[in-house]
Amino acid sequence: MARLRRAISQIEAEAGPEGERPARRLPFARAFDSALSGGLADDALHEIVPAQPADGAVAMGFALALAARFISRRPASALVIGEGFAAEESGALYGPGLVAHGLPLSRLVFVRAPDAALAFWAIEEALKCGAPAVVVGEIWSLKGYSLAASRRLLLAARKGKVPALLILASAYGQAERLSSAAETRFEIAAAPSATIPAAAGLDLPGPFACGARLIKARLARAGPEAPFQAFDPGRVIHLEWRSQDMTFKDMTFGGMCVDDQAISLPLAAASGDRSRAAARRR
Amino acid sequence: MSLGLSLPDARARFPALIVVEAEPLEEARLLRRLCDWCSRYTPLAALDGRDGLMLDISGVAHLFEGEAALIEDCRARLSAQGISVVIGAASNPRAASALARFSRVRTAPEPLSDKAFVKLFHDLSLAALGLDEKIVADMARAGLRRIGDIALRPRAPITARFGAVPMARLDALKGLERSSIAPRFRPPDFCAERQFASPIQTVEAIEVQLRKLADDLVVLLERQAKGARRIELSLYRVDGAMRRIRIGASRPLNEARAIVRLIAERLASPSEDAIDAGYGVDLMRLACLTAEPLAPSEAELERAHEAERARSLAELLDRLSARLGARAVTRRELIDAHLPEQAEAAAPATLGHDAIGFTRRSARRVSSPQSPSNGRPMVGEDQGGGSRWPTQQGSSGTFDNLTSVHDPPPLPAPTRGGGGANVIDAAARQARLRSESRHGEELASWIHEGEASGTPARPLRLFARPEPIEALAEVPDGPPLRFRWRRVVHDVAAIEGPERIAAPWWRHVGAPTRDYFRAEDSEGRRFWLYREGLWGRETMRPKWFVHGLFG
């Protein structure tokens, strides 16, 4: 009996909802994964801030793309929690558009909160319960958002082992000044898409694209992972979202040499005995 | 002594000559083996004629500390195997081949100036262009022997007399013409490799390294949300031998342990030889030949936990609904309606998945008619007229819980009368649920189809009330060139449309037709604009609106 119990607890530790499994990381773009020590942690708070007032929709698109990746990892629903004013200001999320962006509509639950305080409450509840695959929050009013509030969200995310993507729509341009407990912060700016040549007249717009800047990446928590690696917060990475493949493509240099394909093999053959961490740094 | 010399002549010159009969088949096999071995440098390795190899080293030279070091490394390793080679390097295959076979200077500088080109190539024989012997002989008869002889002469007479090939080859040599090589193997989608300073010899060490390689490969796969269907392990031995082990998986794999286990199974099978490390392996490569998107996790244990999670999710939704109101916590579904604001419906999430049904299904087909105004391809399927509208029917009952997400109608109010189309009778819904979930997928695929490139056809965000803009268009029924929205002027840099959407005429008349455009401004923001009213038919002053944002 004792042996069985032990076996069960061992299994739960590996795959269970309450188990002490280490954070799984979501690698999504080579340019960022090294600084994030392998990818976005799936039990932390990630902030997404638009670069300019009009970039709110792009920031949402980036957050939803990440959410699509998180959703595809677990057969669970996701929550999209928005402050009511944000929907009025920049339009409500639109089902057909979400489907085109790569999100399964049947697995999304939309929550509309009348003000920021209730939105934070809803996000925290959702994170604590541990059921959603990811929680996307869109906050307009920054009044209630402080170090303490973000710490609460972070702890809730750790407790429930659910990633939280928080879009601070009105904090445009303040990405470097904000102080919060979030693990990562991205600043997202609009970027021209890869246009498709048309038969006549102007080109046709291409798929979703954005310029992403990693402003903050907290020290990775203790573990066998690589130590924190220096990153350049000034570097804008031009990402393109391929909703059919559910992948980001790095277009910083026109998508030529920084792709994840095998042709360029950067540093692959540099040394014989590299640690596991070195692989994640690639 | 030169190629093509007859045997008696050669013997006369060198009495001590050792004669060995030629074995073309064996030579070809050796060349293929060398080509495989050379794939340690680049995945794009090809055979070049009967006696050469062509490697595409663009983008890989820096891994070996530069081209010169790469060439030196290759030469040293091959001579250790008892093979002497002549290596040429240049920026295109034709030039590299000419340098290797005909020149003293074997590496072309990069970038190659015109002067350097003259110096390098003009003195080479015309055979360096890879021309037929007959053409070379004909040209020699005309006094043309070196590349410089034809490069400095007008093209037309040479083309008229000797055909187009010499000049085309000259262009290829200059890099003016795009030339490619045909690699022996398709480059893999993903690959991880390790090189060892001192070759590893034991099977155990190879297994340890294989595990590390699998870890590396899984990281690469995971970043792209892919799994491997076909995997190849290549072992490059010091003595030039190479071993490939291929495995296939019935579902996309992205677990290192599973990959290692499959390879181990393969090695244990009787048809496969055991690994013979020989003098040692100095390079291992694990490549994923075919990658496919990952299927969602189906592990039983995972599913058991998901059931538990589903329960706690239901509790969470109840809690949120209690505090925020049932209408604030919703799920949405697609509706087969043409007006964008009616294309989705929301129902309280506490009712579960089945709260929403679809309106009567209709056949949709995507066609790409040309727009009459500017020849731009249409995005959608409706070209005015209304002949292909679905046979939508308003239903008898209404379903109280169902609310249209964007219920306030846009300013011109074309949609209000159609409200009944979104709601259907609860009993009828139950009967149709099964077939319609499939229908939802069809709708989703239609939205994805937008255009060939994966460009979304519908915006991420939709304004409940379309916001009026001032737009400037070349012609009254043409696409906008510039528009002012929220007091900011946007210059259109890319645009697609129109997608013409008319109001359901069989229910009410008078609502103007809309022409939708997907526009991207010069800063990269993407908008969904529409022009209301057909110019000249419905109105003389069409109004413009922005209806949504693509992000």
* pLDDT tens sequence across A165-212: 999 988 888 888 888 999 999 999 999 988 888 888 888 888 999 999
CB A175 within 8 A of CB A206: no
CB A139 within 8 A of CB A47: no
Share of chain B above pLDDT 90, in %: 15
Shortest Cα distance from B139 to chain A (angstroms)? Answer: 41
Strand partners, A147: none
Instruction: Say if A196 falls within a structural domain.
Output: no
Shortest Cα distance from B363 to chain A (angstroms)? Answer: 18
pLDDT at B415: 35
> Across the interface, do A113 and B191 touch by the CB < 8 Å criterion?
no
Residues 69-128 of A with CB under 8 A from B: 69, 72-77, 88, 90-101, 105-106, 108-114, 118, 121-122, 125-126
- Convert the pLDDT of each residue in B236-254 to its tens digit: 888 888 888 888 888 888 8
Q: Is the peptide bond before B111 cis (omega within 30 degrees of 0)?
A: yes
**From A104, which residue of chain B is nearest by alpha-carbon distance?**
B444
Instruction: Say if A47 falls within a structural domain.
Output: yes
**Residue partners of A183: CB distance under 8 A and separation at least 6:** A41, A44, A45, A46, A154, A217, A218
CB A69 within 8 A of CB A28: yes
pLDDT at A208: 92
pLDDT at A21: 57
Which of A74, A262, A280 lies nearest to residue B188, judging by beta carbons? Answer: A262
pLDDT at A57: 92
> Across the interface, do B456 and A204 touch by the CB < 8 Å criterion?
no
CATH number at residue A100: 3.40.50.300
- Number of structural domains chain A divides into: 1
Please report residues of B whose CB lies closer than 8 A to that of A29. 223
Mean pLDDT of chain B: 78
> Across the interface, do B294 and A72 touch by the CB < 8 Å criterion?
yes
B479 in contact with A, Cβ within 8 Å: yes
pLDDT at B108: 83
> Across the interface, do B456 and A243 touch by the CB < 8 Å criterion?
yes
Q: Is the pLDDT of residue B352 over 50?
A: yes
Residue type, B483: F
> Across the interface, do B219 and A261 touch by the CB < 8 Å criterion?
no
> Across the interface, do B303 and A192 touch by the CB < 8 Å criterion?
no
Distance CA A26, CA A40 (A): 5
User: DSSP 3-state assignment of B220?
Assistant: helix
DSSP A189-208: EE-----B--SSSSBBP-S-
> Across the interface, do B320 and A243 touch by the CB < 8 Å criterion?
no
Burial of B544 (0-12, 13-18, 19+ CB in 10 A): buried
Burial of B201 (0-12, 13-18, 19+ CB in 10 A): middle
- Convert the pLDDT of each residue in B360-391 to its tens digit: 333 343 333 333 333 333 333 333 333 333 33
Please report residues of A whose CB lies closer than 8 A to that of B458. 94, 96-97, 99-100
pLDDT at B367: 37
Kindly report which listed range (A179-188, B340-349, B452-461, B486-495) carries the lowest average pLDDT score. B452-461
Residue with tokens 């099977």: B203
Residue with tokens 């809730």: A156
- Convert the pLDDT of each residue in A211-228 to its tens digit: 999 888 875 443 444 444
Residue type, B169: R
**Residue partners of B404: CB distance under 8 A and separation at least 6:** B341, B342, B345, B346, B419, B422
3-state SS of B120-158?
HHCCCEHHHHCCCHHHHHHHHHCCCCEHHHHHCCCHHHH
Angle between helices B165-174 and B133-141 (to 10 degrees): 100
Q: Which of B231, B453, B490 is the best mutation test for A, with the most CBs of A within 10 A?
A: B453
Q: Is the peptide bond before A27 cis (omega within 30 degrees of 0)?
A: no
Q: Which of A28, A88, A120, A202 is the best mutation test for B, with the most CBs of B within 10 A?
A: A202
> Across the interface, do B344 and A282 touch by the CB < 8 Å criterion?
no
B187 in contact with A, Cβ within 8 Å: yes
pLDDT at A186: 93
3-state SS of B497-546?
EEEEECCCCCCCCCCCCEEEEEEEECCCCEEEEEEECCECCCECCCEEEE
**From A265, which residue of chain B is nearest by alpha-carbon distance?**
B60
Please report residues of A whose CB lies closer than 8 A to that of B302. 15, 75
Instruction: Say if A106 falls within a structural domain.
Output: yes
Which of B219, B454, B460 lies nearest to residue A207, judging by beta carbons? Answer: B454
Distance CA B105, CA B536 (A): 73
Contacts 24+ apart (CB under 8 A), B506-514: B506/B389, B507/B394, B507/B417, B507/B418, B508/B414, B508/B417, B508/B418, B510/B414, B511/B412, B511/B413, B511/B414, B511/B415, B512/B412, B512/B414, B512/B538, B512/B539, B513/B384, B513/B538
Instruction: Say if A274 falls within a structural domain.
Output: no
Residues 24-53 of A with CB under 8 A from B: 26-30, 33, 38-39
> Across the interface, do B324 and A112 touch by the CB < 8 Å criterion?
yes
Residues 289-348 of B with CB under 8 A from A: 293-294, 296-297, 299, 301-303, 305-306, 308-310, 312-313, 315-317, 319-320, 323-324, 328-334, 340, 343-344, 346
Residues 139-198 of A with CB under 8 A from B: 190-193, 195-196, 198
Instruction: Say if A207 falls within a structural domain.
Output: no
Domain that holds residue A86: 40-187+212-235
Mean pLDDT computed over A26-39: 81
Q: Is the pLDDT of residue A271 over 60?
A: no
Which of A106, A193, A263 lies nearest to residue B524, judging by beta carbons? Answer: A193
Q: Is the pLDDT of residue B431 over 80?
A: no
Instruction: Say if A198 falls within a structural domain.
Output: no
Distance CA B9, CA A56 (A): 83
CB A248 within 8 A of CB B295: no
> Across the interface, do A93 and B377 touch by the CB < 8 Å criterion?
no
Which of A30, A202, A269 lies nearest to residue B493, judging by beta carbons? Answer: A202
Instruction: Say if A240 falls within a structural domain.
Output: no
Residues 218-257 of B with CB under 8 A from A: 219-220, 222-226
| Other residues' Cβ atoms within 10 Å of the Cβ of residue B485 | 20
Distance CA A61, CA A186 (A): 13
Instruction: Say if A163 falls within a structural domain.
Output: yes
- Convert the pLDDT of each residue in A99-115 to its tens digit: 999 999 989 999 999 99
Q: How far apart are the first and last CA of chain B?
A: 71
